[in-house]
Amino acid sequence: MLEKDIRPESLFDHYIHLSQQDIVKIFSRKKKKRIKCPVCRVLGKFYFRKDSFDYEMCRNCSSIYNSPRTSSETFKKYYSNSISAKFWSNVFYKRTSQKRIKMIWQPKAKLAASFFDKSRADNLIDIGAGYGLFLDEIKKNTNLRTYAIEPSGSMANVLNSKEHICINGYVEDLAKKDMPLGNNFFTCFEVLEHVHDPNFFLKKINSFLKKNEMLLLTTLSGKGLDIDVLGKSSKSIQPPYHINFFNPYSIKILLEKNNYKVINIQTPGKLDINILENNYSKIKNNFWKTFIKNSSLSEKKNMQKFLVRNNLSSHMLVVAKKNK
């Protein structure tokens, strides 16, 4: 996989440009409140400012998060009405969907399936399911009943048309009675970096879980190589849609504080080195500038494998279950 396969540069840059316009329209002059680290509950230190959004880093766990932060209602307005959010779902995602199915969703479905037997699940519930590409793959290869939790009305129509059962709403607004009967397996892909209150989000999911039911989630690691090296210049750290960046150390603490037992943490990313290649002019660290410039293809592949083996990639996967 290469970055251009799932994020064509011109298309992705246009999405960022639209996001910057939305910041001016939706977030300007909104009241902001400084928040504590979602993990350690202490005030962090200023990390950088990007497009009028300030980010702090926790002194204890190195989580990176937007602070001060506007209200959750402002973010909901962004996801419901913004030009960039509509561009992402109506243009960007549709144009890249076939490659995303092959390179992202088919491998994720295979990986998730390896945990199904342990959970004895009847239903798979995908949080933030979008077009349901992951659920489509699950439906092809298992007998699980497929459910989606999705706040977008238009996406809910797409999901229902594919015979996935859609629970239309934000996780934070749902109740246990909204969940299906039977044994459930929850998945949540690339959502946690977006949510306004990660603790409330995870607590709410935990309230839906019965003992030993599992949650598989993926998110971005702020200590993954490309994000750590590029810092402010990383396209992954882009407000207003990415506002939380945990890491393998801090995500474990966060989950345990919210009544989860962590079963597995890994960073199976494939793009860190390629992202640095594509952003060579923005690298300030001399070691990585030299490595990217002078290393062979084989050496770069070996380095990416090293990052995966040592939980140093920016793509993070976690499997956890209800603790009590």
The string of pLDDT tens digits covering residues 67-98 is: 999 999 999 999 988 999 999 988 998 899 99
Neighbour order of strands in the sheet with 123-127: 165-168, 145-150, 123-127, 184-189, 214-220, 315-322, 260-266
Tokens found for residue 171:
């996780």
Considering only CA atoms, which of 211, 230, 243, 240 is closest in space to residue 314?
Answer: 230
Residue 261's H or E segment, with its range, is strand 260-266
Length of the chain: 324
Q: Which two tokens stand for residue 17?
A: 């440009």
Mean pLDDT of the region 12-16: 95
Does an H or E element contain 219, and which?
strand 214-220
Q: Look at the domain 3-268+316-322 and name its fold.
A: Rossmann fold (3.40.50)
Residue 40, φ and ψ in degrees, nearest 5: -95, -15
CB 185 within 8 A of CB 216: yes
pLDDT tops 90 at residue 1: no
CB 21 within 8 A of CB 83: yes
- Give φ, ψ of 142 to 5 degrees: -140, 170
The answer on pLDDT for 11 being more than 80 is yes
Return the pLDDT at 141: 84
Can you tell me the mean pLDDT for 212-227? 96
Output the 3-class SS for 62-79: CCEEECCECCHHHHHHHH
What mean pLDDT do residues 275-288 have? 97
Strand partners, 189: 218
d(CA 78, CA 19): 9
Interval 33-78: pLDDT, tens: 999 999 999 999 999 999 999 999 999 999 999 999 999 999 999 9
CA 231 from centroid of its chain's CA atoms = 17
Alpha carbons 69 and 288: distance in angstroms, whole number: 33
Write down the pLDDT at residue 111. 87
As given in the structure block, the two tokens for residue 147 are 């459910």
Nearest-angstrom CA–CA distance, 24 and 22 = 5
